[in-house]
Structure 1
């Protein structure tokens, strides 16, 4: 199905939109005024008195240029309860994910596999064959935008009283050439019947002009929809409450290790994998060495640990490395849900959103995910110490050990035999955290520093 292009219209009011973008959490160049160029736009079918226009806006502020997806709703009459961005001519301009009409139009496009021709771009919806049932035309549809997201915008769509499964649709704000791993990996896991991810519903893919590419064109994902899980609890909050109460979290941590191993096994079977060769090992260790130097330059107090951390890298070089495969890439407790009657469910396989897509789609070491979760347990204890003076260090030690045990038993990969390699990935993650904290939350710096000191002491002993 192809939707005819809408009547030609003007592009975005870049001054109005730029001022609004600068205040959004997903805008990367914090503190800078956007220098925007519209490189493309496309429209969804809209009712009389409305236009739903997705603008592709390239930000040229100093530093690395970044392309943003900015869907806007232009309405003759204001939307009740929705604060407008401003006015353009006779129209009120609204952030489109907050407009239920836009949400319904987007889901209709996705469900029908419709293609839209636009200005210097096109977009096409695609529905997963085993998608959950929903009806975007139903008057029972309600929608809301989730708060708290840093990099994207997620919309929950529900159909009151119909029995339809609620859907969550993520609008990717910073967009890149290449398949988004959030779409590809969760789609592959869902297609394999994995219970550890929500069921996939569908996606939107687009093509646009890109002067930096030899072909002059780029192609990538703009949105991804999957089942929404009502009643789910954020695993970070679950862990914080458990640690603060002094509860034994070992069984739950072990189950999370088993779930992580299951995700890795499914991804390895469904997508590419290959043995790590010497070039892979050297590239990874060189990246870790650069991270070490960056961290010491910003945090001189880490300098006494340089020698021990260099020893960590030397020991990792002589350790057996597991095969490279697709992984979550940014695994921590904040990327996991506790779903009643279902257990742990993992989400947000996007990796680090500001990294180039080609890097996020590379095969990687599964122990990177393991290290990320081990660091997350440390952060639970560390955050309680910083914010409430609570000593949860024993809770974290037990949770880390149980997670590693569960992962090792389920994967058949004894982490004790790879402890030097796990140390290297965990130290690398902690160094990344230290640089982040010294730049953004200096009072939290002791959390990653304690992890670095622990690893350094283990090597010295």
Structure 2
């Protein structure tokens, strides 16, 4: 299980995302977002080297809030060849400099997500050590996920309502003070 440190990060995760998000093709806003932490969960790197977090934030800068899902990895050293996926660096109060990447570009993230779909990883609470996150479920567990799609702007709804939904991960977030669920990851399976 990953160790969760109760400490500071400078700049914060939200500050890094506010600077990074406008440059992404899925960004729906104009200008700089104003992000609020919404929800999320973690997965554990079996080697214990890479932090893996699924971050759900809400941009409240526009007339209507927009929810974004940004999986991230946290590393002690730069990830070679992933410069374009670098969200930023931050000084962690315990661990020192952390290199934070968009998870999709990190091979450890891809391997652990395949394990999640395969049924050998369990979603963990974002802020509570050694605690499963019951609000996240995998449909199609045991699947050999060949290609995983990140749903960057999730919308409420259950993919199980569709017969051809395949394998997917459903998570939760808050919209207008109400807890809603929807697809966060989809997988093509072999």
Q: Under a length normalisation based on structure 1, what TM-score does the superposition of the two structures give?
A: 0.34
1:211, CA displacement in angstroms?
Answer: 4.0
C-alpha contact 1:115 1:125 (8 A) present in aligned 2: no
C-alpha contact 2:52 2:71 (8 A) present in aligned 1: yes
Following the alignment from structure 2 to structure 1, what is the Cα–Cα distance between the partners of residues 122 and 13?
A: 27
**Structure with greater helix share of residues:** 1
Following the alignment from structure 1 to structure 2, what is the Cα–Cα distance between the partners of residues 67 and 119?
A: 20
Specify every segment of 5 or more residues in structure 2 that has no aligned partner in the other structure, as ranges. 92-96
Equivalences, count:
173
Are positions 1:172 and 2:172 aligned together?
no
Are positions 1:223 and 2:174 aligned together?
no
State the match for 1:87 in structure 2. 89
Deviation per residue, 1:187-229 (Å, 9 max, x gap): x137xxxxxxxxx3x211112344432xxx211111110148x
Are positions 1:208 and 2:173 aligned together?
yes
Following the alignment from structure 2 to structure 1, what is the Cα–Cα distance between the partners of residues 164 and 72?
A: 32
Following the alignment from structure 2 to structure 1, what is the Cα–Cα distance between the partners of residues 173 and 58?
A: 11
C-alpha contact 1:110 1:124 (8 A) present in aligned 2: no
Higher relative contact order, structure no. (Cα contacts within 8 Å, ≥ 6 residues apart): 2
State the match for 2:124 in structure 1. 116
State the match for 2:94 in structure 1. none
Deviation per residue, 1:27-48 (Å, 9 max, x gap): 111x321000012232110233
Following the alignment from structure 2 to structure 1, what is the Cα–Cα distance between the partners of residues 164 and 32?
A: 40
Following the alignment from structure 1 to structure 2, what is the Cα–Cα distance between the partners of residues 128 and 13?
A: 30
State the match for 2:15 in structure 1. 15
The 3 A distance-change label for structure 1 pair 6 and 175 is farther
Q: Under a length normalisation based on structure 2, what TM-score does the superposition of the two structures give?
A: 0.78
1:81, CA displacement in angstroms?
Answer: 0.3
Specify every segment of 5 or more residues in structure 1 that has no aligned partner in the other structure, as ranges. 135-166, 191-199, 229-461
C-alpha contact 2:22 2:31 (8 A) present in aligned 1: yes
C-alpha contact 1:5 1:116 (8 A) present in aligned 2: no
State the match for 1:64 in structure 2. 64
The 3 A distance-change label for structure 1 pair 100 and 26 is same
1:97, CA displacement in angstroms?
Answer: 0.6
State the match for 1:101 in structure 2. 108
The 3 A distance-change label for structure 1 pair 67 and 6 is farther
